[in-house]
Structure 1
Amino acid sequence: MAVVPVELSRADARKLAVRAQLLDASRPVSVVEVVRKLTVVQVMPYADIAPSADLVLWSRLGSRYEPDDLQRELEVERSLLELDGMIRPMDDLGLFLAGMKLWPPHEKTREWIEINQEFRDDILSELFDRGPVLAREIPDTARFPWPSSGWTNDRNVTQMMQCLMMRGEVAISGHEGGQRTWDLAERIYPDGIQEVPFEEAFAIRNDRRLRSLGVAPSKAAKQPLEPTDVGPVGLPATIEGSPVAWRVHPDVLPWLDEDFEGRTALLSPFDRLIYDRVRAQGIFEFEYTLEMYKPKASRKWGYFALPILHHHRLIGKVDASVDRKSSVLTVNAIHEDEPFSSETRDAVRHEIRDLARWLRVRVEGV
């Protein structure tokens, strides 16, 4: 018997998405709570304002958040881990162990590892004796260089480290001077993690991803790192005016009967609320492109423009940058998708000033 799709207005879909992503007025209380409920926070260390993970956590926790809080949970408490470009709850490691045994999925990578077994053994031996260490401190003994025409060409140590991390043999221990330090996984990951069978783990991850998004497409274009679609989990849904097949998590539907209380937030371009541009368009009717890779003359909104959330609508972008030497946050432009009311403009400016306080810089241009 076919399940009747849940019919959502765009306003309802927006409210569910915002609340699921912890961006409503009820703020979470800790870094670990945020990561557990979002399931992932993307690592993107280079930024014109702050590393993306820090921006994501600040937008949820507010200015009480300190980057040291995240580093402590990653490197001391080990309640979180960094895996494949994402910060995840350490409790979720069991959902990846079965997949690690099947990695890598590509024949080219599998062959490169196989013909470089001595190189792999050298790295593991080096980590056993000296870990944790930076990748640049490990000798490159690869007999067969990593074949690539891009930035990874001949970066043998970092490529093998990435491969061994995805296979569960090494892990990121911490950071030193902005660079990752590596060690044997058995020294980083706790004992007794229960491995979840692959198919079951895949379904659980999809369900948790949908819960963290509230509403998501059942199918989406392939994304690097973490997918943005969720397959058949949850309930089928339609969104007013959207031709996309959507899924909604049953846990969030009771929120439709509750009052929604929103707030204003500045988001990282890598924030999961807006990361999938098709989803952002379908739910929020929001147009956005990260323009840091574009020539300056071709940019419409700015190098690292921050999307603006106001209650349950995405309403514009803030083009800003930080000069660390002069300790200044310069706001080059506030792009209004539609003209702001005076109340909205004041709320956005307040959030920009809060960003400056968190960064411990003064603000110019507001």
Structure 2
Amino acid sequence: MAATPAPTVRISADHARRLALRAQGLLGQPDRRAGARGVLRLLGAVQLDTISVLARSHELVPYARLGAVGRRPVEEAYWGHGTAFEFWSHAACILPIEEWPLFAFRRRANRAKGRVWGHPVSEQVYAQVVDQLRAEGPLTSTGLGGAKKTAEWWDWSDTKIAVERALAFGDVVVTRRRGWKRVYDLAERAVPGELFEQDPSDAECLERLVAQAGAALGVATRADLMDYHRLKGAQVDAALPASGLVPVAVEGWSAPAWADPAALESEPRGRHRTTLLSPFDSLIWDRPRTERIFGMSHRLEAYTPKHKRVHGYFAMPLLAGGRLVGRVDPAREGATLVARQVSLDGPRSVPALAEALREAATWVGCSDVRVERLDDEALRPELEKLLG
């Protein structure tokens, strides 16, 4: 690890928390005119996941910041208009199309490895896939000849392996989905020419990605910066001096931190959002950072055996007043939003919970809300009164 310069600024843990909220679009007046596309550009990455409870996670992220934004505008902000693409960042993510050049370092590294997750594929099949896309235009893996050899999810066909390899190398890009299936196209055709032709060095890519992560996080440790786009420690260390981020000391944080200098120029104040957060939301997707900033130890339990779950299948943290004050495990039954399990910090958080549940219900087209398990049943009378 490179030597860390002495911090030029010292801030409180509370200030750091508010910087993080503002950087993530959850403190201050949201830019509704920019919509979901503006949220994507602000965050730099929105994680994708197949789980759909109230909605898929990539829909929940702009909802958390903008309120009941229409679901169609969210989809249009991501796919089909040349404004975004899919690639591996924090995980499988939607990224603003402007970031295409910044992931050249990862595409080059993938090409040097020559494989996709250990799967070999012949050059002949690879060439056939690229030629078919060139001749026929954008296609799903089914249109290319099939995604799987058997019904097993992992048993990819040679065609699927080849197109995913082409995606990892940058010969192919995904800029939209059809029925949740990736639609592949040639990068040279789908990526705007002025972006496709850029070829920044690995060092330039990493410097700009570290700067972008720092801006999206507000204030961050080295580990935070590594996690945002899943960079290696040595990559972050090399990029930090030219990133423009400045070293800061945060009260109570054991590790050195860096901040976006623009974020330090003004006090983070404004309207707080009251909302339920996807477990894959970039505000909380990093568990150590979430615990450090908000004091909440939170994990997704969807892949935990049911009898071992503590907070539920898709427990969504409740954000209110700039703090995480509870969790809700939601579901839908017809026109009813069901809170299968709810935990709260205390009675002061009941109005925020009722507000968040009502807004979420309206957004997904539910007219009623039902709370099943409430960890503190003494809070039920007030909650049901507010839910009315």
Counterpart of 1:126 in structure 2 is 132
Cα deviation for residue 320 of structure 1 reads: 0.9
- Does structure 2 conserve the Cα–Cα contact (< 8 Å) formed by 1:216 and 1:248? yes
What is the DSSP-based 3-state SS (H/G/I as helix, E as strand, rest coil) of the residue aligned with 2:194?
A: coil
CA separation of 1:70/1:263 partners in 2, compared to 1, >3 Å: closer, same or farther? closer
What is the DSSP-based 3-state SS (H/G/I as helix, E as strand, rest coil) of the residue aligned with 1:27?
A: coil
- Larger mean CA deviation between 303-312 and 12-21 belongs to 303-312
The TM-score, its normalising length taken from structure 1, stands at 0.87
Counterpart of 1:322 in structure 2 is 332
Within 5 A, what are the aligned runs for 1:281-360?
281-323=291-333, 326-336=334-344, 338-341=345-348, 344-360=349-365
What is the DSSP-based 3-state SS (H/G/I as helix, E as strand, rest coil) of the residue aligned with 2:283?
A: coil
Distance 1:221 1:89 in 2: 19
- Larger mean CA deviation between 42-51 and 212-221 belongs to 212-221
What is the DSSP-based 3-state SS (H/G/I as helix, E as strand, rest coil) of the residue aligned with 2:206?
A: helix
- Does structure 1 conserve the Cα–Cα contact (< 8 Å) formed by 2:275 and 2:356? yes
- Does structure 1 conserve the Cα–Cα contact (< 8 Å) formed by 2:146 and 2:159? yes
2:278 to 262, 268, 289: 268
Counterpart of 1:52 in structure 2 is 57
Counterpart of 2:45 in structure 1 is 40
- Does structure 1 conserve the Cα–Cα contact (< 8 Å) formed by 2:141 and 2:147? no
- Does structure 2 conserve the Cα–Cα contact (< 8 Å) formed by 1:47 and 1:304? no
AA aligned to 2:7 is: V
AA aligned to 2:370 is: E
Distance 1:100 1:122 in 2: 20
- 1:244-296 deviations in whole A, cap 9, x for unaligned? 2222221111233x544423121110011111111111111111010000111
AA aligned to 2:342 is: I
AA aligned to 2:290 is: A
Distance 1:70 1:141 in 2: 27
Counterpart of 2:209 in structure 1 is 205
Distance 2:278 2:343 in 1: 15
How many aligned residue pairs are there? 352
What is the DSSP-based 3-state SS (H/G/I as helix, E as strand, rest coil) of the residue aligned with 1:133?
A: coil
Cα deviation for residue 24 of structure 1 reads: 1.3
Unaligned regions of 5+ residues in structure 2, if any? 372-386
Counterpart of 1:100 in structure 2 is 107
1:17 to 13, 16, 20: 20
1:159 to 145, 157, 161: 161
AA aligned to 2:45 is: V
- 1:73-105 deviations in whole A, cap 9, x for unaligned? 344431222223211111221222354234246
- Alignment RMSD, CA only? 2.8
- Does structure 2 conserve the Cα–Cα contact (< 8 Å) formed by 1:98 and 1:198? yes
- Does structure 1 conserve the Cα–Cα contact (< 8 Å) formed by 2:7 and 2:249? no
Confirm or deny that 1:6 pairs with 2:9.
yes
Counterpart of 1:174 in structure 2 is 176
Counterpart of 2:94 in structure 1 is 87
- Larger mean CA deviation between 217-226 and 176-185 belongs to 217-226
CA separation of 1:173/1:261 partners in 2, compared to 1, >3 Å: closer, same or farther? closer
- Larger mean CA deviation between 305-314 and 225-234 belongs to 225-234
The TM-score, its normalising length taken from structure 2, stands at 0.82
Cα deviation for residue 226 of structure 1 reads: 4.1
- Larger mean CA deviation between 210-219 and 230-239 belongs to 230-239
Cα deviation for residue 316 of structure 1 reads: 1.5
Distance 1:212 1:21 in 2: 6
Confirm or deny that 1:136 pairs with 2:139.
no
AA aligned to 1:12 is: H
Unaligned regions of 5+ residues in structure 1, if any? none
CA separation of 1:10/1:21 partners in 2, compared to 1, >3 Å: closer, same or farther? same
Cα deviation for residue 220 of structure 1 reads: 5.3
Distance 1:171 1:2 in 2: 40
What is the DSSP-based 3-state SS (H/G/I as helix, E as strand, rest coil) of the residue aligned with 1:308?
A: strand
CA separation of 1:49/1:88 partners in 2, compared to 1, >3 Å: closer, same or farther? same
CA separation of 1:110/1:318 partners in 2, compared to 1, >3 Å: closer, same or farther? closer
What is the DSSP-based 3-state SS (H/G/I as helix, E as strand, rest coil) of the residue aligned with 2:317?
A: strand
Within 5 A, what are the aligned runs for 1:168-247?
168-193=170-195, 194-219=198-223, 226-227=230-231, 231=237, 232=240, 233=243, 234-247=245-258
What is the DSSP-based 3-state SS (H/G/I as helix, E as strand, rest coil) of the residue aligned with 1:49?
A: coil
Cα deviation for residue 9 of structure 1 reads: 1.7
Distance 1:287 1:340 in 2: 21
Confirm or deny that 1:62 pairs with 2:67.
yes
Distance 2:157 2:227 in 1: 24
- Does structure 1 conserve the Cα–Cα contact (< 8 Å) formed by 2:173 and 2:184? yes
What is the DSSP-based 3-state SS (H/G/I as helix, E as strand, rest coil) of the residue aligned with 1:278?
A: helix
Cα deviation for residue 155 of structure 1 reads: 4.4
What is the DSSP-based 3-state SS (H/G/I as helix, E as strand, rest coil) of the residue aligned with 1:269?
A: coil
Counterpart of 1:78 in structure 2 is 82
CA separation of 1:346/1:155 partners in 2, compared to 1, >3 Å: closer, same or farther? farther
